[in-house]
Amino acid sequence: MSAGERRVRVAIVNYGVGNLRSIYRALEIAGASPVITREIVALERADAIVLPGVGAYVAAMRFINSIRDKFINILLEKPVLGICLGMQLLFEGSEEGGFVRGLGLLKGYVTRLPANVKLPHMGWNHVRIIKEHSHLISGLPKKTFMYFAHSYAPPVNDSYTVAITEYGRPFPSIIESGNLFGMQFHPEKSGRHGRILLANFVRLVREEHAKNTL
């Protein structure tokens, strides 16, 4: 971040489960001013929203459904980054915990990875970029390694898939659709390339905020 540049306000949604300090610190390093919150007013005031990758689908949606309409309206108005579970919440629903309705901002359903691989998918794996025009991946090599921890994943779809990973089946590991961004891995645990992705997201948020305040 250059001297004099404003630190954008990024709200990390607290579903009520898990430790969010790692992503908080990673966003601080990336140049943001993060806050962990579940308050509508704080979400409305933020320049961007992060849906973190901690917790279970059903528990996260239980909180979101308590403020569903207002929450979706907020997500439609500003940049959103979903990480792991947070990315999965953007879809129509998930098999995790039976069948749980998601936010429905992206088409498709989150399903369990195949039984012929060890679950959860835990550790480092390849991320292969298939859409190089995305500003989110600026500075990344076409193939890199990121850190994963999940048993479920959404389907690959040309309309939003930026990068693909293989584990039992191919799944989107980076997505982008309008103001929605997602990573199935944990960028805050993925070393230098994870830091690049978070810095790119913060830069995109700063650019969007500057455009909207002209």
What mean pLDDT is reported for the chain?
Answer: 95
Nearest CA to 57 among 14, 19, 89, 13? 89
pLDDT > 80? residue 18: no
Residue tagged active-site, from 96, 121, 176, 188: 188
Mark whether 186 is an active-site residue.
yes
Lowest-confidence segment of 3-17, 105-119, 152-166, 197-211 by average pLDDT: 3-17
Q: Catalogue all structural domains in the chain, each as residue range(s) with its CATH number.
A: 8-212 (3.40.50.880)
125-153: average pLDDT: 95
51-67: string of b/e by CB count within 10 Å (b at 16+)? bbbbbbbebbbebbeee
Q: What is the pLDDT of residue 38?
A: 94
Q: Name the residue with higher pLDDT: 150 or 5.
A: 150
78-104: average pLDDT: 97
Provide, rounded to the nearest whole percent, the portion of the chain with pLDDT above 90. Answer: 88
Q: What is the pLDDT of residue 6?
A: 74
Q: What is the pLDDT of residue 214?
A: 63
Query: Is the Cβ–Cβ distance between 69 and 55 less than 8 Å?
Result: no
Residues 6 or more apart whose CB falls under 8 angstroms from that of 43 comprise 11, 13, 37, 49, 71, 74
155-177: average pLDDT: 97
pLDDT > 80? residue 213: no
- pLDDT tens sequence across 27-51: 999 999 999 999 999 999 999 999 9
Q: What is the pLDDT of residue 195?
A: 97
> Using 50, 70 and 90 to split pLDDT, how confident is the model at 165?
very high
pLDDT > 90? residue 80: yes
What pTM does this model have?
0.95
pLDDT > 70? residue 4: no
Residue tagged active-site, from 84, 96, 150, 176: 84
Mark whether 84 is an active-site residue.
yes
119-131: average pLDDT: 97
Query: Is the Cβ–Cβ distance between 187 and 194 less than 8 Å?
Result: yes
Nearest CA to 49 among 28, 77, 21, 25? 77
Residue tagged active-site, from 135, 186, 207, 208: 186
